[in-house]
Amino acid sequence: MTELLSNFIGGRWQAGSGAGTALHDPVLGDALVRVDATGLDLPAAFAFAREQGGAALRALSYRERGALLAAAVKVLQANREAYDAIATANSGTVRTDSAIDIDGGIYTLSTYAKLGESLGDRRFLLDGEPARLGKEPLFQSQHVQVPTRGVALFINAFNFPSWGLWEKAAPALLSGVPVIVKPATATAWLTQRMVQDVVNAGVLPAGALSVVCGSSAGLLDALLPDDVVSFTGSAETAALIRSHPAVAQRSVRVNIEADSLNSALLLDGEAPGSESFDLLVKEVTREMTQKSGQKCTAIRRILVPEALYGPAAEAIAARLARTRVGNPRNETVRMGALVNRAQLASVREGLAVLQAQTDTLHDGAGHALVDADPAVACCVGPTLLGTRTPDSADRVHDTEVFGPVATLLPYRDGAHALALVRRGQGSLVTSLYGSNPAALGPAALELAAGHGRVHVVSPDVGALHTGHGNVMPQSLHGGPGRAGGGEELGGARALNFYHRRAALQASTTVLAALAG
């Protein structure tokens, strides 16, 4: 029987009392490890994290907490190869795709370690300047932010078991808030192993970092008003979290990242083969195939002027045709597997929904799998769809296929293009391509209200931009509407979620002493 991974809660490793759920290799089909959270005393675990981990973290300054993050970075870097092996086996990703998750998580952690150094020896944050409350300047109001006295619960998605952990944990720990992470069951192994390595290295105080692998049953029940919860996943699950008594009645603060029909828009005035046209084609194919399209930020809709619909379809299809799909252990393979059979079925079902209103411009079924048995491997080739009637193709704007699928849409003019993008009802990111700065800037501002991030690519940054789907810790991650309405990262902005703001009304002498 496969190994049963332990949970780390209450300051010690604990195995669930059930048989556990097996995690599988999505290419070979082999059972790898098992996870189980049956029988855990979650209220006691949450109390330990609040009382032990929280108190220990709050006793430190931001600089000292940043040093803890830097120590964790060294631990993760020392075990880097083991993480890559787990990602290959459990997520079915090629090495470059595994690196996005693993190295991206470590980079984000190191970024917040440096931020802690810059915040210095404080244990709270000043929020703005003092404000006079009357005619005399002696009595004033100073807003401050202090760490919440609760725990941060993370319920994460399957596609980024490393980055999904550290992009949330880094600002939480830096803020002085202990973390309990519940990774998605399908890929929990990598998260559990990273937590294990950091815990065993002893770089964090007891109770600062915990992991629960398996069912999420009871996790929300253990939340108290000072706690916060951050969720990444489906809109359906997000709705359940928002309606839970912890949130609806006890006012637990919640951050949601949900579905997102992200767009890429080529502005008018470009010709086939121009630098901006080629940059769009390259980025679309990369986003469709990277991690087999299993990215919340991946491009799902591609908008081009009507005259470029045919050339864009040909150019994107030609690049997709060169993508070798199959076993990530084969060095010639550029796109690995979907995470499991359930995800494979979901992608096929969603693809059929979209194909009812679109044409197939490049059929992923034409890709022969490399070193993989089609009857076993959860692999599917990239598929490009298209429709010349984007206004009536409502499914394209309402259905996200979480895999290597995107739809090409033609637009009549600039106003039509912006209207089609907005049909997504709020997204994590949209990207703009063009060579006219006078047009790119205003278009970016027009779209900013409906997106957490607007990624503008012009020829001068063609070799420098960080990528449509690449989430950088310096920039905001989240989006309004369908995308969940949440906000993560954004440099120091991420700390706001883990702090409580209060107004201190006092004499200028007291406030000056407080400011230090």
List the catalytic residues: 257, 296
In the chain, % helix, strand, coil (3-state, to 5) comes to: 40, 25, 35
Q: What does the alpha-carbon distance between residue 139 and residue 135 come to, in Å, rounded to a whole number?
A: 9
Instruction: Count other Cβ atoms within 10 Å, centred on residue 5.
Output: 25
- Residue 509 is encoded by which pair of tokens? 């002498």
Q: What does the alpha-carbon distance between residue 101 and residue 88 come to, in Å, rounded to a whole number?
A: 12
In sequence order, what are the beta bridge partners of 432?
A: 265, 456
- Residue 100 is encoded by which pair of tokens? 């996005």
507 SS3 class: strand
Looking at 120-187, list the stretches that DSSP marks H as alpha helix, in order from N- to C-terminal side.
Answer: 163-175
Q: What does the alpha-carbon distance between residue 372 and residue 260 come to, in Å, rounded to a whole number?
A: 31
**325: Cβ contacts below 8 Å, ≥ 6 apart:** 333, 334, 335, 336, 367, 369, 370, 379, 380, 381, 382
In sequence order, what are the beta bridge partners of 405?
A: 383
- State CA 355 to chain mean position distance: 28
Q: Are strands 405-411 and 383-386 parallel, antiparallel or unpaired?
A: parallel
How far lies 423's CA from each of 35, 390, 468, in Å?
Answer: 40, 10, 19
Q: By the 8 A CB rule, do 410 and 393 touch?
A: no
501 SS3 class: strand
Phi, psi of 230 (to 5 degrees): -125, 125
Phi, psi of 10 (to 5 degrees): 60, 25
For Cα atoms 304, 309, 313, give the angle at the middle one, nearest 5 degrees. Answer: 105
Task: Using alpha carbons, select from 505, 488, 40, 494 the residue that is nearest to residue 232.
Answer: 488
Q: What does the alpha-carbon distance between residue 40 and residue 18 come to, in Å, rounded to a whole number?
A: 10
The two most distant CA atoms of the chain are separated, in Å, by 79
| Residue whose entry in the numeric block shows the structure tokens 């949601």 | 256
306 SS3 class: helix
* Polymer length in residues for the chain: 516
Q: What does the alpha-carbon distance between residue 91 and residue 340 come to, in Å, rounded to a whole number?
A: 8
